[in-house]
Amino acid sequence: VKKIGVLTSGGDAPGMNAAIRSVVRTAIYHDLEVVGIRGGYNGLIEGHFTKMGPRSVSNIINLGGTILKSARSSEFRTKEGRAKAFEHCQAQGIDALVCIGGDGTFTGAQIFSEEHGVKVIGVPGTIDNDIFGTDNTIGYDTALNTAMEAIDKIRDTATSHSRIFFIEVMGRDAGFIALNSGIATGAIDILIPEHNDSMEELFTTFRKAQKRGKNSSIVVVAEGETLASTYELAKKTKVEFPEADIRVTILGHIQRGGAPSCADRVLASRLGFGAVTGLMKGLTNVMAGIRSNQLVYTPIEDAISKNNEINQDLLQISEILAL
């Protein structure tokens, strides 16, 4: 490997900048050239390249978002789009790509590598934590803390007004943010797609809470919950408990921004380093991850197709502690 291209793609995540910085500085340390590709795979197709040096990544380790910008590219899903991208890689002399992102990013990387022989390595960057092959994805810890702080603030007003709040958090089809932020904020119930929930169970939880003298409650709902939309959950609850004062808050994209946490900065630094050193060892079509505090490489195929399991203990703990 002589020249590495680095890009961020898909939904941005706090810590992506720390990962870019790590890729750039590790590559330069090993006398490799690095080129930044702006705007994800679209930048590869349109030829938006920036030569990167150690100073081009100064003062970014603490910044949310991504200095390289991100996009979800529909053109890269086409053979023609990928052929254009390959022409630019050849013209630039790029022989390997570090692709920072989630599922969609990795799928694109894998197809591109199989079609054109460019080496690729994935770095998991998404707040959803839904990537197999790493205990945590970059951005997840920061998003959790953002959600937790927001829910804490909502609890203040929920308590003052003796209200029930349904709070929706992100996570696409996964419930990691919901489960963990719910436990951390003492939610009375947590609804996630990985668990079969029913309205009756939810109502039973409210009835028990009433009996125990609770006068305000927080229910954390994962956006991917399949039982009902968060607004529908609130509506149905109002029909069952007409006296209850109910509000809904959708936390939304606030969870994607902000300065990365210490854990995310360190994780991103380790994974950026792992991506470059992996390429130097001849690895391709793998994703760098950290499992049990060890740098590991997982075939991209597995990272995409397998699922991170929800910890069943956490589910049980969340129920017991909501007493």
> Residues with Cβ < 8 Å from 140, sequence gap 6 or more?
13, 126, 127, 128, 129, 176, 177, 264
CA geometry: angle 268, 56, 274, nearest 5 deg: 30
> Given strand 96-101, what is the order of strands in its sheet?
49-51, 33-37, 3-8, 96-101, 119-124, 286-291, 294-299
170 interacts with ligand F6P by CB under 6 A: yes
Question: Smallest distance from the beta carbon of 307 to ligand F6P, in angstroms?
Answer: 15
| Contact present, 197 and 233 (Cβ < 8 Å) | no
Q: Which residues are annotated as a binding site for ATP?
A: 11, 72-73, 102-105
Judged by beta carbon, residue 107 or residue 126, the one nearer ligand F6P is: 126
| Contact present, 190 and 318 (Cβ < 8 Å) | yes
- Residue among 3, 48, 84, 172 that touches ligand F6P (CB under 6 A): 172
Q: Which residues are annotated as a binding site?
A: 11, 21-25, 72-73, 102-105, 126-128, 155, 163, 170-172, 212, 214-216, 223, 247, 253-256
Judged by beta carbon, residue 52 or residue 150, the one nearer ligand F6P is: 150
Judged by beta carbon, residue 5 or residue 175, the one nearer ligand F6P is: 175
Between CA 243 and CA 229 the distance in angstroms is: 22
- Residue among 25, 38, 82, 256 that touches ligand F6P (CB under 6 A): 256
Question: Smallest distance from the beta carbon of 2 to ligand F6P, in angstroms?
Answer: 33
Name the pairing type of β-strands 49-51 and 33-37. antiparallel
Q: Is residue 141 among the annotated active site residues?
A: no
CA dist list (Å): 243 to 15, 164, 200, 255, 322: 44, 11, 18, 32, 22
- Each residue 10-39 as x (binds ligand F6P by CB under 6 A) or -, in order, gives -x----------------------------
Size of the site for ligand F6P (CB under 6 A): 10
Question: Smallest distance from the beta carbon of 126 to ligand F6P, in angstroms?
Answer: 5
> Which residue among the candidates 12, 31, 95, 128 is catalytic per the annotation?
128
Question: Smallest distance from the beta carbon of 144 to ligand F6P, in angstroms?
Answer: 12
Site for ligand F6P in 35-94 (CB under 6 A): none
Judged by beta carbon, residue 64 or residue 278, the one nearer ligand F6P is: 64
* Active-site residue list: 128
Contacting positions for ligand F6P (CB under 6 A): 11, 102, 126-128, 170-172, 223, 256
